[in-house]
Amino acid sequence: MIDFSLSPALADLQARVRRFIAEQVIPLEGDPRQGAHGPEEPLCAELTDRARRAELLSPHVAPDCGGLGLKHVERAVVFEEAGFSLLGPVALNVFAPDEGNMHLLEAVATPAQKEHWLKPLAAAQIRSCFCMTEPAPGAGSDPNMLATTAVPDGEHFVISGRKWFITGADGASLAIIMARVPELGATMFLAPMSSPGIVLERNMDTLDRCFPGGHGVVRFDGLRVHRDDILGEIGQGFRNAQVRLSPARLTHCMRWLGAARRAHEVATAYARERHAFGKPIGQHEGVGFMLADNEMDLHVARLTTLQAAWVLDQGGLGLHESSRAKVIVSEAVWRVADRCVQILGGQGTTSETVVARIFADMRAFRIYDGPSEVHRWSIAKRILKGLV
């Protein structure tokens, strides 16, 4: 049996993060320095500066890069607390895509690449983006359709192609680019976003607006990248992507679990206070049962996340377990958010509570890092092969 009881040190850290979010982050949720494409840079800088002073910045990163070196189960506890506010992951510097990119750089980058890119990322001095998804007929749910190319030219590679839904591209300093080297396969490259040949065509208007920089369309027009800026090895791009992807799916689960808990607490308070037909609406079965279902979904989501994080800490989390956790949690927290809107009634569709924002921002979680349908298909194939 896995023991998920918190050590005194982790319980203390959980309490510190919870206080920080309540006292330093939630009061800034109404700050006007936010727009359709996420919190703006001055607000991000203020948030990360507050976390830095509280010694909570980049807790997932190794101590030699300025973090707390948390293991995955410890991250699950801390990231849930950060996710209680949509600005919390930005404040602690654990938001996507930077959190996953930092994990990838720690695992794969050379010492020189870590010094140049990882340390400034961990210090929240810069942001990054991960350039993988492409418009049709390029790679989406099927990475084997990768169309962006990197053609060798002496000591350089010339990258050409187009990406979209690139989270955080606007304002990023670093691009991690997935491109296909002819005859050698998918390969990751590092490039400054200011490089000649990188064009941010536009930002896409999406339901969510919690990610700094929004989601961009990026074009590579003959971008020249030196072979020293290959991340990992030539032809190992997809393998290295899994180094990033399995933990990144879980950290999404952790953060959105915190947001779902916030929505549930708002809806519960409303169900206690709002009266209809002679009693608080929470005492009517229609509302009370929704609160009960929320509690059960939150419980299952938390256990699923903790179990997967524990397996990852043991070095054993595979794609199957990652897929299973991502589907269970993304759909459970979505049900919670949806019920909370329903419990709040008209109020649930307004900006007068945080629930409508959580509802809109959370919806994409069932799509990015693999839509639920693709994960179910993958799980089903393993079942039919007798591997589950």
pLDDT, one tens digit per residue, over 168-220 is 999 999 999 999 999 999 999 999 999 999 999 999 999 999 999 999 999 99
Residues 43-60 pLDDT 10s: 999 999 999 999 999 999
With pLDDT > 70 as the criterion, what percentage of the chain qualifies? 99
The answer to whether the beta carbons of residues 118 and 58 sit under 8 Å apart is no
Whole-number Cα distances in Å, 166 to 125, 211, 321, 360: 20, 11, 26, 19
Residues 103-142 pLDDT 10s: 999 999 999 999 999 999 999 999 999 999 999 999 998 9
- pTM attached to this predicted model: 0.95
Domains and CATH numbers, the chain: 8-122 (1.10.540.10), 128-234 (2.40.110.10), 238-384 (1.20.140.10)
* φ/ψ of residue 230, rounded to 5: -70, 130
State the Cα torsion 314-295-8-18 to the nearest 10°: 110
- Which run of H or of E encompasses 78? helix 72-83
The model's confidence at residue 245, banded by pLDDT at 50, 70 and 90, is confident
The answer to whether the beta carbons of residues 120 and 349 sit under 8 Å apart is no
3-state secondary structure 200-260: EEEEECCCCCCCCCCEEEEEEEEEEEEHHHEECCCCCHHHHHHHHHHHHHHHHHHHHHHHH
Whole-number Cα distances in Å, 156 to 150, 207, 226: 9, 39, 4
Query: Long-range contacts for 360-364 (Cβ within 8 Å, ≥24 apart)?
Result: 360/207, 360/208, 360/209, 361/86, 361/207, 361/208, 361/209, 361/210, 361/259, 362/208, 362/256, 362/259, 362/260, 362/333, 362/334, 362/337, 363/207, 363/208, 363/334, 364/206, 364/207, 364/208
User: Token pair of 388, please?
Assistant: 């589950």
User: Token pair of 154, please?
Assistant: 């002496």
Is residue 1 over pLDDT 80?
no
The model's confidence at residue 4, banded by pLDDT at 50, 70 and 90, is confident
